[in-house]
Amino acid sequence: MARFDVYRNEDAASSKRFPYLLAVQSELLDGLHTCVVVPLGRASAVGGKPMERLMPGLALDGETWLMYTPQLAAVRTAILRKRIGNLSDQGPAILAALDFLFSGI
């Protein structure tokens, strides 16, 4: 599992709001049975304008998806089955959002 891989969210309870999960954990930790992910959802799900630095828009399959950084979570790697792409080309925006979440910078 590569960092910044995107997976289809197969959880019935959350997939309508967050159709995709973005893996943000380092490949050095592939031996773990969990992976830290950030859900990706439509901008329309946010009431008002999101904080762009915390929740950047990421291009995926011709659409823009918001990175719901405050919703970061660890999930079992077994649920990350349907990889649909990789957002390494947008790594700087992803890392900036994570830095802002953890350090405020």
Q: Rounded to an integer, what distance in angstroms lies between the CA atom of residue 3 and that of residue 86?
A: 8
- Total count of domains within the chain: 1
Is residue 68 over pLDDT 80? yes
49: pLDDT confidence band, cut at 50, 70 and 90? confident
Above pLDDT 90, what percent of the chain?
Answer: 83
Q: How confident is the model at residue 28 (pLDDT cuts 50, 70, 90)?
A: confident
Q: What is the pLDDT of residue 105?
A: 86
pLDDT at residue number 6? 98
**Is residue 10's pLDDT more than 70?**
yes
Residues spanned by the domain of 16: 5-103
d(CA 82, CA 11): 12
Please report which confidence band the pLDDT of residue 27 belongs to, taking 50, 70 and 90 as the band edges: confident
Strand duo 57-60 + 34-41: pairing: unpaired
Q: What is the DSSP string of 11-54?
A: -TTTTTT--EEEE-S-GGGTTSSEEEEEEEE-GGGSSS---TTT
CATH number of the domain where residue 23 is located: 2.30.30.110
Look at the pTM and tell me if it is higher than 0.95. Answer: no
Residues, the chain? 105
Residue with the larger pLDDT of the pair 69 and 48? 69
What is the arithmetic mean of pLDDT over 10-23? 95
